[in-house]
C-alpha cells in the first residue's frame, strides 16, 4: 500500500485540515491526566508549520449526548499550546459562519482548534453533508487519528472524498500502520503474541488471524481460565465464559495444526474475594478451590513466559495477565512487561497496544523500553484481525 504522508507535500501557504485524536482523559477539574495523544500529533503539526502552512485541528472528546460543557475541547487548549510551543486559537463550534471566519483569517504558522466534532450527531452518523461543510476548512486533508481510523465517521472516512488529490497520512497514523505491519509481516522469528484480558470472546478474531503469523501464543488474564476449564481443570470461582469452552479447545487445535506453541499459566495468585484486601495464596491453575479465584499469574507461569520472551525476536502484547490495577495482583503483568523490555533491549521488536496494556506499561514506567506503544486500542485490534479500516481506506481511494 502506497502511503502519501505529510512529508510528501509542501504546505507553504496552505491550510491543512487535520483530524487528530485528542480524546484524552480529564480529571474532575478538567486537567489532562495523560497527554500521550497530544504529544503524538506534534510531529505532523510542526512539519506543516515549518513548511509555512497553517493547521485547522478537529477532534472529538468523549461521548457527549447534548453538548455538555465537560466535553469541550477548550479544556485541552492550554496543554496543547504548551506542548506545541504555539498559542493555539480556539473556536467554540466546528461548522458554521463563526468557524468559516476563524479559518479565513488564519495566517501561516497559526493553529486553530475546532470544538468537539461529536457535539453534532452527524459526525458519528458519517453524514456526507456535514463532512462537506468540514472540508471547506482546508486545502489539504490530513488524517493523523489512528484511534478513530476504524470508525466510518464524517471526519475520518467520508471527508476524504472531498479531497481527491489533496489528502494524506499524518506521521502518527503512518507510523501506527507500519508498526502493526512489522508484527503481521515479520520475518524476524520467533514471533510471540501475548493475548490477555478478561474474555476470549473479545479476542477470538485476533487469535484466529494471527495464528498464521506467530510461533508462540501466550494466553493470560481472565480469559486463560476458559481454556483451563475446557481442558478439565478446576478453576474455583475464577472468571470463565462457559459458552466459549468449545471455542477454546478449537483454538488450541488450530494452533497445534499450525505448529504454534501455546503457553497457558500453570499457577495463579488466588484470592477469596475480588478486592485489594482479600486473602491470597499461590495455587496450581488446574486445582483452584471453590470460593477462590485466580487474579494474577503465579511465579512458575511468570518464569515460563520469561523463557519464551527471552528467545523471541518479535513480540505483540495485548492484554494484562492479572488485575494489575490492584497492587496485590500486579506482579505478573509487571514482570511480563519487564521481560518484554529486556527482550527489546536485546534486539527484539515489541509492539504494545490495547488500553490495558498501554496503561500497564505506563504504570510500570516501561513506555520507553518497548519498541512501540500504539495510541489506538480498537483500531490496532481491528488491524490485527485483518480488517481494512475505513479511515485508512479513504486515504488510499
pLDDT 10s digits, 100-152: 999 999 999 999 999 999 999 999 999 999 999 999 999 999 999 998 999 99
Please name the residues in contact with 96: beta carbons below 8 A apart, sequence gap of 6 or more: none
Domain boundary among 141, 174, 207: 174
How many Cβ atoms from other residues are within 10 Å of residue 252's Cβ? 18
pLDDT 10s digits, 335-375: 999 999 999 999 999 999 876 888 899 999 999 999 999 98
Q: Tell me: is residue 63 an annotated ligand-binding position.
A: yes
Catalytic annotation on 128? no
Q: Tell me: is residue 259 an annotated ligand-binding position.
A: no
| Residue 181 falls inside a structural domain | no
| Residue 95 falls inside a structural domain | yes
Say if residue 235 is in the same domain as residue 283.
yes
Say if residue 210 is in the same domain as residue 251.
yes
| Residue 300 falls inside a structural domain | yes
Say if residue 23 is in the same domain as residue 115.
yes
Question: For position 137, what pLDDT does the model report?
Answer: 98
Q: Is the pLDDT of residue 330 over 80?
A: yes
Catalytic annotation on 42? no
| Residue 179 falls inside a structural domain | no
Q: 42, 199, 328, 342: which is the annotated catalytic residue?
A: 199
Q: Tell me: is residue 130 an annotated ligand-binding position.
A: no
pLDDT band at 2 (very low <50, low <70, confident <90, very high): confident
Query: What integer best gives the mean pLDDT of the chain?
Result: 95
Regarding pTM above 0.75, the answer is yes
pLDDT 10s digits, 260-311: 999 999 999 999 999 999 999 999 999 999 999 999 999 999 999 999 999 9
Q: 276, 291, 355, 386: which is the annotated catalytic residue?
A: 355
* Measured CA distances, 152 to 129, 131, 364, 388, 389 (Å): 14, 11, 34, 11, 8
Q: Tell me: is residue 325 an annotated ligand-binding position.
A: yes
Q: 37, 213, 244, 334: which is the annotated catalytic residue?
A: 37
| Residue 258 falls inside a structural domain | yes
Q: Tell me: is residue 356 an annotated ligand-binding position.
A: yes
Judge whether 193 and 384 are in contact, CB under 8 Å: no
Domain boundary among 174, 195, 216: 174
Q: How is residue 377 written as a grid cell?
A: 486500542
Say if residue 102 is in the same domain as residue 58.
yes
Q: How is residue 108 written as a grid cell?
A: 501561516
Q: Tell me: is residue 216 an annotated ligand-binding position.
A: no
In 3D space, the residue among 363, 307, 351, 324 whose CA is nearest the CA of residue 182 turns out to be 351
Rounded average pLDDT over 309-327? 95
Q: 4, 313, 378, 393: which is the annotated catalytic residue?
A: 378
Return the DSSP state at 16: E
Say if residue 140 is in the same domain as residue 235.
no
Say if residue 138 is in the same domain as residue 218.
no
Q: How is residue 251 written as a grid cell?
A: 483454538
Q: Which domain holds residue 164?
A: 6-174
Say if residue 135 is in the same domain as residue 209.
no
In 3D space, the residue among 292, 252, 291 whose CA is nearest the CA of residue 270 turns out to be 292
Q: Tell me: is residue 21 an annotated ligand-binding position.
A: yes
| Residue 180 falls inside a structural domain | no
Say if residue 244 is in the same domain as residue 365.
yes
Say if residue 163 is in the same domain as residue 200.
no
Number of domains making up the chain: 2
Judge whether 390 and 138 are in contact, CB under 8 Å: no
Domain boundary among 120, 139, 174: 174
Question: For position 355, what pLDDT does the model report?
Answer: 64
pLDDT 10s digits, 219-272: 999 999 999 999 999 999 999 999 999 999 999 999 999 999 999 999 999 999
pLDDT 10s digits, 6-60: 999 999 999 999 999 999 989 999 999 889 899 999 999 999 999 999 999 999 9
Catalytic annotation on 244? no
Q: What is the CATH number of the domain that holds 293?
A: 3.40.50.1260
| Residue 109 falls inside a structural domain | yes
| Residue 325 falls inside a structural domain | yes
Catalytic annotation on 332? no
Judge whether 187 and 210 are in contact, CB under 8 Å: no
- Give me the sign of the Cα torsion angle 120, 125, 126, 128: negative
pLDDT 10s digits, 191-228: 999 999 888 888 888 898 899 899 999 999 999 999 99
Amino acid at each position: 500500500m502506497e502511503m502519501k504522508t505529510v512529508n510528501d507535500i509542501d504546505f507553504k501557504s496552505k491550510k491543512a485540515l487535520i483530524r487528530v485524536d485528542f480524546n484524552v482523559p480529564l480529571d474532575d477539574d478538567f486537567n489532562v491526566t495523560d497527554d500521550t495523544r497530544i504529544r503524538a500529533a506534534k510531529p505532523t503539526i510542526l512539519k506543516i508549520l515549518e513548511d509555512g502552512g497553517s493547521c485547522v485541528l478537529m477532534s472529538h472528546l468523549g461521548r457527549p449526548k447534548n453538548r455538555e460543557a465537560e466535553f469541550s475541547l477548550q479544556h485541552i487548549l492550554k496543554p496543547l499550546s504548551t506542548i506545541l510551543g504555539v498559542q493555539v486559537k480556539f473556536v467554540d463550534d466546528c461548522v458554521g459562519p463563526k468557524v468559516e471566519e476563524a479559518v479565513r483569517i488564519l495566517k501561516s504558522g497559526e493553529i486553530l482548534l475546532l470544538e468537539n466534532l461529536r457535539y453534532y450527531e452527524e459526525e458519528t452518523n458519517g453524514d456526507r453533508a456535514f463532512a462537506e461543510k468540514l472540508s471547506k476548512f482546508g486545502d489539504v486533508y490530513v488524517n493523523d487519528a489512528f484511534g478513530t481510523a476504524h470508525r466510518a465517521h464524517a471526519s475520518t472516512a467520508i471527508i476524504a472524498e472531498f479531497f481527491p488529490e489533496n489528502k494524506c497520512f499524518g506521521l502518527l497514523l503512518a507510523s501506527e500502520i507500519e508498526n502493526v505491519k512489522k508484527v503481521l509481516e515479520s520475518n524476524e522469528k520467533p514471533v510471540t503474541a501475548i493475548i490477555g484480558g478478561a474474555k476470549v470472546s473479545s479476542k477470538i478474531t485476533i487469535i484466529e488471524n494471527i495464528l498464521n503469523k506467530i510461533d508462540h501464543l501466550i494466553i493470560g488474564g481472565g480469559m486463560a481460565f476458559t481454556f483451563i476449564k475446557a481442558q478439565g481443570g478446576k478453576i474455583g470461582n475464577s472468571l470463565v465464559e462457559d459458552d466459549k469452552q468449545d471455542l477454546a479447545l478449537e483454538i488450541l487445535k488450530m494452533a497445534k495444526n499450525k505448529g504454534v506453541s501455546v503457553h497457558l499459566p500453570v499457577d495463579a495468585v488466588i484470592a477469596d474475594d475480588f478486592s485489594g484486601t482479600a486473602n491470597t495464596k499461590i495455587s496450581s491453575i488446574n486445582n483452584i478451590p471453590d470460593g477462590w479465584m485466580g487474579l494474577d499469574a503465579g511465579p512458575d507461569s511468570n518464569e515460563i513466559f520469561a523463557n519464551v520472551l527471552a528467545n523471541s525476536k518479535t513480540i505483540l502484547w495485548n492484554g494484562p495477565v492479572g488485575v494489575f490495577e490492584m497492587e496485590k495482583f500486579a506482579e505478573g503483568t509487571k514482570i511480563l512487561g519487564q521481560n518484554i523490555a529486556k527482550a527489546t533491549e536485546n534486539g527484539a521488536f515489541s509492539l504494545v497496544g490495547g488500553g490495558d496494556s498501554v496503561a500497564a506499561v505506563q504504570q510500570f514506567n516501561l513506555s520507553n523500553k518497548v519498541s512501540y506503544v500504539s495510541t489506538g486500542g480498537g483500531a490496532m485490534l481491528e488491524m490485527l484481525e485483518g480488517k481494512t479500516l475505513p479511515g485508512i481506506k479513504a486515504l488510499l481511494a
